Amino acid sequence: MPCVPHSFYYEHYFLHYYSEKKLPSYLNKSLAVHQPGILPRGFWFYKNSEWIDWCTENSCVGESTNYCYRIAVDFSNILVIDTFDNLNDFCDRFSKIDNTIDWNFVQKRYKGIFFDNYHKIRQQIRELEIQSMVWYYGIDVCSGCIFDTSTILLYGLVI
C-alpha cells in the first residue's frame, strides 16, 4: 500500500506542542524550506504524552516543556507513516543516494508528516537490520512535523 495523506483528523489522540515560550509567532504561515539534516524542520507536535514521557525517562525535561498546547490538525495533506510498508514506500520515494531524506521534496508535496506506531516500526527496522532507515531512530516517539502551519485548526494552552 503506498503512503498517502489521511483525510481525517486524529481525534482519538491528543496532539501536543511543547515550548519554552508561548506559541510561536510563525503560526499560520508556511515555514522555511528545509536545511540539510536527518530530520525535517518545522513545527513538531507529539502524540498524547509520549514526548514528555520520553524526556522524563531520558532526563531531558527542562525549559522546552514550560508550555504545552493541545492542537487539532487537518490531516488532509499530511503524510502519515503508520506501518513499516508505508515507511519503506516513503524511503523509496524520498531517499537520496546517501540514505537521507530529501525533505525539500517532501515539503513540496505535503504540508507535514506524521509518524505513528513509531515503536513498532522501529522494532521492525532493528529486526531486519535495515541500515538505510537508521535516520528514523531520531524521531524518538510518535510525532509529526508541520511544514505549513495553516493545517493547525485549533490550539489551546494545557499547561
Q: Between 11 and 24, whose confidence is greater?
A: 24
* Helical spans, DSSP H, in 17-143: 50-57, 84-94, 103-109, 118-128
pLDDT tier at 150, thresholds 50, 70, 90: confident
Laid out side by side, the sheet with 15-19 consists of 78-81, 112-115, 143-146, 43-47, 15-19, 67-73, 152-157
* Amino acid in the structure at residue 155: Y
Residue 119, all three cell numbers: 515503536
Question: Does residue 2 carry a pLDDT above 50?
Answer: no
